Amino acid sequence: MTTTTSTRPRGMHGGTVAVAGAAETTEIGKRPDTSVLGLHIEAARNALADAGLTPADVDGVATAGPSPIDVAHHVGVTPRWLDGTAVGGCSFLSHVRHAAAAITAGAAEVVLITHGESGRSQVGLPGRARSASSPPGQFEWPYGAIAPYMKFTVPALRFLHERGMGREDLAQVVVAQREWAAKNPRALRQDLVGVEDVLAAPMIAYPFSKDMCCPVTDGGGALILTSAERAADLRRPPVYLLGSGESAESTLVSQMSDPGSFGASRRASSEAFATAGLSQGDIDHLMIYDAFAHLPLYGLEDTGFVGHGESGAFIADGHTRPGGRLPVNTNGGGLNYTHTGMYGMFAMQEAIRQLRGEADAQVPGVRTSFVHGYGLFFSAATSLVFANERP
């Protein structure tokens, strides 16, 4: 292993650690042929092939859903570092942050992070972790707040009400992101729509119509992280981790400290910018976890890309669309591209494609990408700053 003589700050951020391999499962959407664990294995093998590595090169494994023990065993890794952090859809973003710390500390050299879910086909599910005695089991499920569209959506009316916004602002999110999806052959929903179409779609949970809710799909993805020095010797252009942050509030949506703004998002994004030494104006490309159409609105404001109450107009004015000054959710987002259940891995995959210059809806000249993920509805949040050059 080479040592660096650079004068840049030591630590897990600033480009010390890089993504050396990244891939999704070969097909996404409908995979009744493959179990959850099978999707993890397929994604892992695709990411290893992308990096030009084999399971024998990997010494760390992180995942959420199945145990990292199962993933290590079935991929063929003998681990000396494991991370089973399971905080919902942003778990895989947190794994990146944790892996960077481990690699920097010498606790692992090459970390495999896997995601796979059979959200649509329900094949080989790893089992439900919570019971009727858990906080949600006692204080949310008895009221019918069980599935994501019944829980994650509940605070949205307050957000809109506080800002003088409405259902049209939710619809504009879908309209804007569908323009990106139309450029992505792998996206499930590719048809362009207008605001009236989205508003008139069948109601799922007022104020959310069907188009404002993500589909439920099968698929997976994986990343290979290692030191920037090791990554420089591998076959793909490294994507560097410049900054990261994570936080949490409660597994009960009702216990958000402010239903109109997610504290964990504010803290995670603030730390990610601080550790990267960058501000919002330095970011070329943004991915915001969007299981539902209110999340890009919350996300734009809570990560500081726009001010309080400005998110709706920012999207309606076209700034996040193709040709806009801040491209957002360029794979179409979870709303249109795919959403297996814990979407965060796919948000990172698109950021990495954009930074490598190989996205289907490639934005010219992307040098930095900010990825913001939510976990277990409004329970947890993680932010990452990636770049294709070391600062």
Enumerate residues 6+ apart whose C-beta is below 8 A from 72: 61, 78, 79, 82
Site for other proteins in 74-133 (CB under 8 A): 131-133
The yes or no reply on residue 259 touching other proteins (CB under 8 A) is yes
Q: Identify the residue among 252, 272, 345, 347 touching other proteins (CB under 8 A).
A: 252
Tell me the CA end-to-end span of the chain in Å, nearest whole number.
21
Q: Which phi and psi (to 5°) does residue 374 adopt?
A: -110, 150
- Site size toward other proteins (CB under 8 A) is 39
The yes or no reply on residue 161 touching other proteins (CB under 8 A) is yes
How many CB atoms lie under 10 A from the CB of residue 194? 12
DSSP 366-383: --EEEEEEEETTTTEEEE
Tally the C-alpha atoms within 13 A of residue 223's C-alpha that lie toward its C-beta. Answer: 32
Q: Identify the residue among 74, 123, 125, 139 touching other proteins (CB under 8 A).
A: 139
70, burial (CB in 10 Å: exposed 0-12, middle 13-18, buried 19+): middle
Token pair 């070391």 in the structure block, residue: 390
> What are residue 328's DSSP bridge partners?
286
Q: Which is nearer to other proteins, 206 or 281 (CB)?
A: 206
Closest separation in Å from C-beta 98 to other proteins: 27
Residue 69's SS3 state is helix
Stretch that binds other proteins, among 50-58, 245-253, 263-271, 296-304 (CB under 8 A): 245-253
Q: Which is nearer to other proteins, 49 or 147 (CB)?
A: 147
How many CB atoms lie under 10 A from the CB of residue 323? 9
Q: Identify the residue among 100, 154, 278, 366 touching other proteins (CB under 8 A).
A: 154
The yes or no reply on residue 312 touching other proteins (CB under 8 A) is no
Q: Which is nearer to other proteins, 142 or 357 (CB)?
A: 142
Q: Identify the residue among 81, 92, 180, 208 touching other proteins (CB under 8 A).
A: 208
Q: Which is nearer to other proteins, 101 or 150 (CB)?
A: 150
Of 385, 352, 358, the C-alpha closest to 370 is 385
Q: Which is nearer to other proteins, 201 or 316 (CB)?
A: 201
Q: Identify the residue among 29, 55, 76, 135 touching other proteins (CB under 8 A).
A: 135
Q: Which phi and psi (to 5°) does residue 145 adopt?
A: -95, 85
Q: Which is nearer to other proteins, 17 or 212 (CB)?
A: 212
Stretch that binds other proteins, among 63-71, 203-211, 222-230, 353-361 (CB under 8 A): 203-211
Cα 89-91-92 angle, rounded to 5 deg: 100
The yes or no reply on residue 207 touching other proteins (CB under 8 A) is yes
Q: Identify the residue among 9, 11, 142, 194 touching other proteins (CB under 8 A).
A: 142
The yes or no reply on residue 157 touching other proteins (CB under 8 A) is yes
Query: Contact 43/21 with Cβ under 8 angstroms?
Result: no
What does the DSSP 8-state code read for residue 339? -
Of 299, 260, 304, the C-alpha closest to 278 is 304
What is the per-residue binding string for other proteins in 4-43, x denoting contact by CB under 8 A? Answer: ----------------------------------------
Q: Which phi and psi (to 5°) does residue 380 adopt?
A: -135, 160
Cis amide bond preceding 207, omega within 30: yes
Closest separation in Å from C-beta 209 to other proteins: 10
The yes or no reply on residue 145 touching other proteins (CB under 8 A) is yes
- Residue numbers at the binding site for other proteins (CB under 8 A): 131-133, 135, 137-147, 149-151, 153-159, 161, 202-208, 250, 252-255, 259
